[in-house]
Amino acid sequence: MNKTLRLLFVIHFAFAAVTVSHLYELIHCPPVNSLINLYSSYTYTNRNFGFFAPTVNDDYELSLRAFNAQDTLGHEVSLNASDTENRIRFLTMLWHFSEGNSKSQMDLFARSWGLYCMNNDSTVNQVLIAVYKHEVPAMTAYKNGERISKNLYYQTTIYAK
């Protein structure tokens, strides 16, 4: 039993190592490729955002407030992510927005979000876009009472012409 367990561990580690190092691209044997693909899909080792991701980033939150011509309060607009794949795409886009880009690059993302709001409601003439960063404290700071904080990371207003 002990030898069997060791063998299974070695096989799992080998499949995971082949997948995360992209060595499977060098293997040109269809049955082996199929087996590696099936196993890595089952164990989630083929996901770039999975267990082997180098860091866990702080969380970002997007706020879209749309205003009509005479509206002073505005209304919140949410980007609907109807399924898991679209939620991952949206969160990836938000992550790419916040990965240290220049202001001009972040403005491009913001204009696309503002345009989305205006395309969905032709009466919207202004969109306030704010991105908040939920900063996660280090473990020692958490033990000393510090908690997750929500800070304004970026803000702009997009106007319809």
**Which two three-digit tokens encode residue 54?**
């180098």
97 and 151 together in one domain: yes
Confidence of residue 54 (pLDDT cuts 50, 70, 90): very low
Residue 94 shares a structural domain with residue 151: yes
Q: What would the pLDDT profile of 61-118 be if each residue is shown by its tens digit?
A: 889 999 998 888 999 998 777 777 777 777 777 877 777 678 888 898 899 889 989 9
Contacts of 63 by beta carbon, 8 Å cutoff, 6+ apart: 76, 128, 129, 130, 131, 132
In this prediction, residue 94 carries a pLDDT of 80
Residue whose structure tokens are 């709001």: 117
Query: Mean pLDDT in the chain?
Result: 82
Alpha-carbon distance of 72 to 115, in angstroms, equals 20
Question: Are 98 and 144 within one domain?
Answer: yes
Q: In this structure, are 114 and 145 located in the same domain?
A: yes
Examine the domain organization and report whether 36 and 63 are in the same domain: no
Domain encompassing residue 39: 2-43
| 35 pLDDT higher than 80 | yes
Tokens of 149: 């904080």
CA distances from 31 to 15, 18, 27, 37 (A): 14, 15, 10, 10
Task: Give the three-class secondary structure for 44.
Answer: coil
Verify that 122 and 90 share a domain, yes or no.
yes
